[in-house]
Structure 1
Amino acid sequence: MGIADVMKEIGLTQGGFYRHFGSKDELFVDAIALSFRELGDRLERVAESVPSEKAAEAIIDAYLSMDHVRHPETWCALASLAPDIGRMPVSVRKRIDNATMWYMERMSKYMKGADAQEKRHNFILLFSGMAGSVSLIRSLGDSGMKEQALTLARSHYVRVFG
């Protein structure tokens, strides 16, 4: 489906799209950035609802949830779109890097680590692993296997990062 089709479906013109976005790539970058802001808001609420020493564990539990698996449209864009992002032009990926860095800085404060660099490293390891886990779990057909995989992933990441 192209931009013209989408705009027609929502009752607007293609020109209306280009008044807001210079290109489809700009829309894509803005959507990823918005996803990171919304996910950051959600995970901060989760982290702040528990004692600080349990924040990382609460984030892991929320991220590796069946709700996240069942609702890719309202959770982490990376768990859904990482392969697509990887095929985008470098110029687009660099713009997404900015949103990723902002998200990492926001979430790093909940990570274990002796200093800011170690916390950022732990963020990269944890969130890339969790996004991959969610992506794989979504591909499973058996709901029992999905639950088992989520339980294993949560247990592992809490043990290592919680």
Structure 2
Amino acid sequence: MPYPTGHKLKVREQIIESAAKAFRTNGVRHISLPFIMKGAGLTHGGFYAHFKNKDQLVIEAFHFAISDTIKLLQNVADKKADQPRIQTIIEFYLSSVHRDQTEVGCILPALAGEVSQLSQEVRQAYTDELKRFMEFIADTANIDVSTSYALVSSLVGTIALARAVNDSNFSDQLLLAGKIQAKRILEVESHPN
């Protein structure tokens, strides 16, 4: 009996979601294809019916993860109409919730230290998705792209460090300092000398 229409696409999406979750939590190099396929509820043998290699999956998982993060941040901002959207996004991005829920968090800090050691194609995909995220932040904050570079670098760097340390109080202090600095970046942009 043939599979229903759209079955292959649905399975492919399950694999991409499983990969994005795994990469966000454990990085790319230490995650095997069988692990990803198991996370999607599938056997390893079916992988090559959907992707030519792991790099192709990584590239598609980057795109999915950034789209997912943008959607999450938009939803968070929509819930707090009483403050500027970018302020809400900063507060959430640099929160203990975002820090601790790596499997659904932003993939940029999760892979920042590792991506330079991956293939050129994967590095290009990371670069493209970082630029897309920076453009989203620039549009949301109504700031120029250059300021967005500084703001996103501050956000991603803060989360990466807050996740890396084993001292929860220090991690919380890093998040607070990151919020203060991110807001200063916006203040400088809105009140240039």
How many residues align? The count is: 156
TM-score (norm 2): 0.71
Structure 2: segments with no counterpart, 5+ residues: 1-30, 188-193
Residues 18 and 97 of structure 1: CA distance in aligned 2, closer, same or farther (over 3 Å) = same
1:4-153 pair list within 5 angstroms: 4=34, 7=37, 10-14=41-45, 16-51=46-81, 54-113=84-143, 118=144, 120-153=145-178
> How many percent of aligned residue pairs carry the same amino acid?
25
TM-score normalised over the length of structure 1: 0.83
Give the alignment's Cα RMSD to 1 decimal: 2.3
**How far apart are 1:40 and its partner, in Å?**
0.1
Greater share of residues in helix: 1
Change (3 A) 1:17 1:45: same
> CA shift at 1:8, angstroms?
6.6
- Supply the distance in 2 between the matched residues of 1:61 and 1:8 (Cα, whole angstroms): 34
* Counterpart AA for 2:157: G
How many angstroms does 1:12 deviate by?
Answer: 1.5
Map Cα deviations across residues 74-119 of structure 1 (whole Å, 9 max, x no partner).
1110111112212112222223333333333333211243xxxx2x
Q: Which has the higher contact order (CA 8 A, sep 6+)?
A: 1
Q: Which residue identity lines up with residue 39 of structure 1 in the other structure?
A: T
Contact 2:51 2:57 (8 Å CA) reproduced? yes
